[in-house]
Structure 1
Amino acid sequence: MARVALVLTMVGGLAGCGGGSPFAPEKVAVTPTAPTAAETPSLSLDPNVSSHSKFAWDPARSLTMNAVTYDSVSDKLVINNLPFDGPEGIYDNVLTFANGAKAYKSRSTETTGQMPHYAVFVSTVAMQATSAAGANWLGYGNSGANVNRTGFRLPAGGEYIYVGKYAATRVFDGRTGLELVTGDLRLIVDVLDFDPKAGVQGDIAGRIFNRTRVFSVLPVALNRFSSTTATQGRALPDVILAEVGFSTTEGSFDNGTAESYAPDTTAWESGTYSGILGGTSGEQIGGYTVITGTADVQSVRYQVQNYTLAGVNGVASGLDSISQTQLQDMLNAGETLPSVLLAPPLPTDAVATTSSFVDLQLRTDYTAREIGVFVGTQVPTTP
């Protein structure tokens, strides 16, 4: 989507222009310390200039992050080209997830860093991967991802399994707020098949599973989808990573199809994944996903009872106490819907004739974009 513009009002608020604006962002008063920064690329310059580093770079879709550095001593990230995340682009570690991935938040003062940004970071000895996004855009806002490696050598010919961790930033178009997501990764890699064609020989496929929303920045008060209930802890469907060829010369793969499906098997999210192999013997793999789709899908099963009373037919439904419209409003507000709605008690002297359950699947009226990163390590081969 197009980049979202901002207009500062004279009354100290923030008003929308061009599709989105941050309202009342939370702030942490921290005095930033400027890192030693090299010259960074301009917005018009594609940062994908090295086979050892790959960015999700597409300014037309507001994928603008073009440089990232991790400081292991102070456990900080320095990220470039995300507006309103502070003039130095410094992100401090605020959380470590159960799967070992880490979360970071941008610094702010009274006059800088007015848009809170969050980043997730996963790493191994030979690989680092970062995703970052702003929390209070009404549209997707500016974001990005990067994966980089210390070096690369192709694994010996054969088939391999890689397992690892996944983390993501998830933002919305049609409401504010942000979610951080974690999960697990399993990839299979065949080094020698298919036969070489245009520099591509190997094949990759896999899945991201145990995908869960583990941290939420709620929609701000002025948003019509404002809610006091977070989405934290709610599961998301597995992401299927369809097969994609990779260059055995550079250990690089691009634009494989990534998809997820709702419980009724209809499409939920779709997008692409890209990445690189790394390590002294190709024992590591890392990459990023960019997927968009419905922000949330939930199912409700409600009971329907038919009855007769004094010769007159009647119906009692689980939707008598809460309407489908009310359920839709709850879903749009980020709330968890009841899984089962029982019909109310029948009137006195009524005789039940039939009882059944109906499955109702609801989807939010707005969409989400999840930018995830993953790093995996090769499982030792068995004889």
Structure 2
Amino acid sequence: MILNSAVKAFGILSVSALIACGGSGDNPVTGGTVDTDVDPTDPNVVTGQKFAFDRSVGLVANSIEFRENVAGDPSDDQLVINNIPFDTTTGEYDRTGTLPNGWGLYQNTERNLEGRLQYFAVFNQSATADVEGGVAASPQYRGSIGNAGAVIRRSGTPVSLPVAGIFNYTGSYSGIREIDNDLDTTGTVPGITLVTGDALVRVDYGDFDVTGDIVGSISNRNVYDVNGTFLGSLSNVSLAEALIDRPTQTINESGASSQDGLLSGTWEGVFGGPTGNEIAAYVILNGTTPSTPGATPTDPVIPGVDVRELGVLLVAQ
């Protein structure tokens, strides 16, 4: 990872700007849960939460805490993200806007102070607050990979999964795409874009003979710059067959890939709610941007270069 020393100017994604793009500005978040019992070298040891954690590729976040400072006023919401270098001394991120699908957009509070990098995060909770998740990344790294992270978690509500039955879970997806902008000689091409989509997860609790089987997809994937400008659309993503880990009420890691063949990676998740009626999952995709423009001439920002997409989906029956 090579740090980009040239600080680029990014606008704040305003609620009003994204309402014009089709967002409502509403936020269903009603509360937060915090679990700080993590191992800084491998946080995936606490039942009910999962982290995209691999220091060799810059995936380092090991905790995200949501703070609703004023009930019913999402503009005062904050995140506290732990273990990301050069963001803040406190880990605090302020909410600076809303994505078109209602997910919150956040930026590190100390982004303008000496030695700090600018970081963006997207985060959401389900309407019941039984599951939540978010991702964070910086546009100020050269290449397609910088220090970043993805975290999903369920609340402390006990989960009792069905032993049989077939269910569809539907909801939304949001993420950050880290783009290799080394070929940009103007200093104007952002190192990240934002992505939203619709998520579908299908669960068969009875097969394979009670272990359970799960598949999913992410469709209607739209890309925006950090100012909320629509850049275009991306190929759907398939979430390959995965199995349930019943002792921990989680979804084992499996493959993920875009249908245009440009991206591949992994996904895994956790169940939430009294009967496992909600799911949070994170997705890691690596590959290249499309080689030709999509829905608009600005999609992709730079064609045919490396990209890493970190995203989270929240779905419910």
State the SS of the aligned residue for 1:170: strand
For residues 269-348 of structure 1, what are the structure 2 equivalents within 5 Å?
Answer: 269-298=263-292, 334=301
Unaligned runs of 5+ in 1: 5-18, 29-36, 218-229, 301-329, 336-362, 379-383
Amino acid paired to 2:175: A
CA-to-aligned-CA distance 1:194-223 (integer Å, 9 cap, x gap): 125xxxx11110110111112337xxxxxx
Bigger mean CA offset, 252-261 vs 138-147: 252-261
Identity of aligned residues (%): 32
Distance 1:216 1:331 in 2: 14
Q: Say whether residues 1:374 and 2:308 are aligned partners.
A: no
Partner of 1:116: 118
Q: Please give the per-residue CA displacement for 1:86-140, whole angstroms capped at 9, x wherever unaligned.
A: 1112111111122221111111265346311000112112001011001111021
TM-score by length of 1: 0.66
The 1:215/1:187 distance shift into structure 2, 3 A limit, reads same
Q: For 1:203 and 1:118, locate their aligned partners in 2 and report how far apart those are by CA, in whole Å.
A: 34
Correspondences of 1:59-98 after superposition (within 5 Å): 59-73=55-69, 74-98=76-100
For the residues of structure 2 that align with 1:372 and 1:233, how far apart are their CA atoms? 18
Query: Within the alignment, does 1:161 sit opposite 2:161 as a pair?
Result: no
Q: Tell me the TM-score normalised to structure 2 length.
A: 0.79
Q: Distance in 1 between matches of 2:111 and 2:270?
A: 37
Contact 1:27 1:108 in 2 (8 A): no
What is the CA–CA distance in structure 1 between the aligned matches of 2:258 and 2:35, rounded to whole Å?
39
Shift of 1:293: 0.7
Identify if the C-alpha distance between structure 1 residues 39 and 376 changes in structure 2 by more than 3 Å, giving closer, same or farther.
closer
Give the corresponding residue for 1:10.
Answer: none
Q: In 2 relative to 1, CA 252–40 (structure 1 residues): closer, same or farther, beyond 3 Å? A: closer
Cα distance change on mapping 1:110 and 1:235 into 2, 3 Å: closer
Partners of 1:123 and 1:129 within 8 A in 2: yes
Name which of 231, 234, 237 aligns with 1:233. Answer: 231
One-letter amino acid of the structure 2 residue matched with residue 369 of structure 1: R
Residue 20 of structure 1 aligns to which amino acid in structure 2? L
2:142 counterpart SS class: coil
Structure 1 residues 22, 163: CA separation in 2 closer, same or farther (over 3 Å shift)? farther
Tell me how far apart the structure 2 counterparts of residues 241 and 38 of structure 1 sit (CA, whole Å).
28
SS in 1 for 2:301: coil
Read off the aligned partner of 1:64 and give its amino acid letter.
V
* 2:3 maps to 1:20: yes
**Any conservation in 2 of the 1:170–1:178 contact (CA below 8 Å)?**
yes
Paired letter, 2:99? F
Q: How far, CA to CA, are the matches of 1:127 and 1:237 in structure 2?
A: 26
Structure whose alpha-carbon radius of gyration is higher: 1
Kindly indicate whether the alpha-carbon contact (under 8 Å) linking 1:163 and 1:187 is maintained by their aligned counterparts in 2. Answer: yes
Structure showing greater relative contact order (alpha-carbon pairs closer than 8 Å, 6 or more residues apart): 2
1:149 corresponds to which of 154, 165, 173? 154
Superposed CA offset, 1:34-66 (max 9, x none): xxx9978675x2111211111011111110001
